[in-house]
Chains A and B, each alone.
Chain A
Amino acid sequence: MSDQQHKVAGRGRRAVVPILLATSLLCITISTRSIEGIPESIGLTIFGFFQRGFSVVGGFIADTVSSIAELRKLRINYHELSTKLEKYTNIERGLADLREENRRLKEQLGFSNDTTYQRIAARIIAKDPDNLYSTLTINKGIKEGIRKNMPVIAFQDGLEGLVGRVVEVGRGTSKIVPLYDMKSYIAARLASGTRTEGLVGGQGSPDEPLIMRFVKKRTKDEVLFGDIVVTTGYESIYPSEIVIGRVKKVRVLEYQTSIDIELDPILDFSRIEYVFVVRLEERIEDTGGSGSVGGSR
């Protein structure tokens, strides 16, 4: 190849770089204006498939290693559980009587219309690859009936708490923005007392407290440490009375017309493995069951 041809090839190679940068900027421009979100959805479907694969492999290795240690514990647990089973069998008999009595009393009190929302169980398979963003990825998508903006909740230590909402849905995976994300805003109120309202936002990390803003200043003396904060249900996204967190600290600044309340999230996000996506448009009768659909795997 002559010198001339080398120069031309070199120029062509260098031209690739500005094209790549320009394409990136163009994509950000389109994406930040949120024209459709279709490219993201297609991309999530394709890459989410491989991400699930990685999650499965990681899970398999971790499960295999831990199951060896588990075997020893299982033998001890087996004996303990046999004893407990005998005890619970006796309790169950009493429980059946109580259930029947409860049903009859509910009927009399007119609680038969008590309803709850249908939930889709899902497992968290990945977190955002970058520390700047805080997305969680779950193993359920369009095929399981998940749609954009559906609220997501979880149960931990017997408490039901808000996780966040679905922001992107692929065929087999979905992305959730947790409530501690900087882009997350939730209309909230104190669960008891004055029922003071505000707007809860995150600071980008599960370790940092949530901030409840725009709370009326005159209520500052009525907000107590440990008070529970729940969703108001004003938005169409979140159902009402879902627990968000507990009051940690009240920040009063003289020059502001409102106060800020720091909250500890009710859920420990580092321990969450399973979540429930809530289908608001479908209510089911409260029959005492879990009301969830779909498996977790």
Chain B
Amino acid sequence: MIRTIAFSTLLLVGCTFAQSTWFGGIAILGIAPDISILVLIWVSYRNGLVEGSVSGFISGFAEDFLSSSPLGFHAFIKTAIAIVTAILHGSFYIDKVLLPVILGFVGTIAKALIAWALFLLFGENIHVYSIFSIGLWIEAAYNGVLAPFVFLLLGLLSSILETEHRRR
């Protein structure tokens, strides 16, 4: 379990660094995809509650240091998304295209909803997506489109990203 958490966290933090440094070039109308959310969803769905939430929490904290968000903002969002995904763990079979697209899209919407809930609690320091702005929908669609490819790549790394008893 610790090995899985360590590798997942490293991958998630790596994705965060990549998003901040490299993904400007693939942004659509200034909106870059959130690959770390896709990785988190995959890890949480495959491994369950503890692995997903701990990896999400640590990588979210790292993201908070790189962002101007309040410390704990991304940590909370990622932990919460990991919990929700882990609840679905084993409920359905993840095919190659359709379900990853849905998970990527819905995961982004969930992120927006959790940010909105935090905004209600903590006020103006929390930035939220506007449902009327095109940014949220571009990001959700972008994540949805990329999800099948990301899930496919993660499947190749399942030996290090999945706990042993889950693989069996």
- Interface of A toward B, CB cutoff 8 Å: 13-14, 16-17, 20-21, 23-32, 39-40, 43-44, 46-48, 50-51, 53-55, 58, 125-135, 137, 167-168, 175, 177, 181-183, 204-207, 270
**Is B97 in contact with chain A by the CB < 8 A criterion?**
no
The 5 residue pairs across chains A and B that have the minimum distance between CB atoms: A27-B72, A43-B65, A24-B76, A31-B70, A31-B71
Smallest distance from the beta carbon of A163 to chain B beta carbons, Å? 14
Alpha-carbon distance between A53 and B17 when the two chains are bound, in angstroms: 9
| B72:A25 contact, CB within 8 angstroms | yes
Query: What string of 1s and 0s marks CB contacts (under 8 Å) between B59-77 and chain A?
Result: 0111111111111111110
Smallest distance from the beta carbon of B52 to chain A beta carbons, Å? 10
Which of B62, B72, B115 has the most chain A CB within a 10 Å cutoff?
B72
Residues of A contacting B34 with CB < 8 Å?
Answer: 130-131
Residues of B contacting A44 with CB < 8 Å?
Answer: 65-66
Alpha-carbon distance between A28 and B83 when the two chains are bound, in angstroms: 19
**Is B146 in contact with chain A by the CB < 8 A criterion?**
no
Q: A58-B22, A128-B67 are in contact. Are A32 and B54 (CB under 8 A)?
A: no
Residues of A contacting B79 with CB < 8 Å?
Answer: 17, 20-21, 24
Residues of B contacting A129 with CB < 8 Å?
Answer: 16-17, 19-20, 36, 63, 66-67
Smallest distance from the beta carbon of B62 to chain A beta carbons, Å? 6
Alpha-carbon distance between A72 and B115 when the two chains are bound, in angstroms: 50
**Is B90 in contact with chain A by the CB < 8 A criterion?**
no
Residues of A contacting B162 with CB < 8 Å?
Answer: none
| B68:A31 contact, CB within 8 angstroms | no
Smallest distance from the beta carbon of A160 to chain B beta carbons, Å? 24
Alpha-carbon distance between A133 and B19 when the two chains are bound, in angstroms: 13
Alpha-carbon distance between A43 and B16 when the two chains are bound, in angstroms: 14
Select from chain B the residue with minimum beta-carbon distance to A56: B21
Alpha-carbon distance between A13 and B13 when the two chains are bound, in angstroms: 23
Select from chain A the residue with minimum beta-carbon distance to B15: A129
Contacting chain A: which of B23-31, B98-106, B152-160?
B23-31
Known contacts A17-B53, A29-B72; 8 further A-B pairs (Cβ under 8 A):
A20-B75, A28-B73, A28-B126, A50-B17, A51-B21, A51-B66, A129-B63, A130-B67
Q: A23-B75, A28-B73, A130-B74 are in contact. Are A135 and B67 (CB under 8 A)?
A: yes
Alpha-carbon distance between A270 and B28 when the two chains are bound, in angstroms: 12
**Is B122 in contact with chain A by the CB < 8 A criterion?**
yes
Smallest distance from the beta carbon of A109 to chain B beta carbons, Å? 45
Q: List residues of B (99-129) whose CB comes within 8 Å of A's CBs.
A: 115, 118, 121-123, 125-129
Residues of B contacting A39 with CB < 8 Å?
Answer: 71
Which of B31, B49, B68, B76 has the most chain A CB within a 10 Å cutoff?
B68
| A30:B76 contact, CB within 8 angstroms | no
Among A21, A43, A126, A205, contact of B21 (Cβ-Cβ < 8 Å): A126
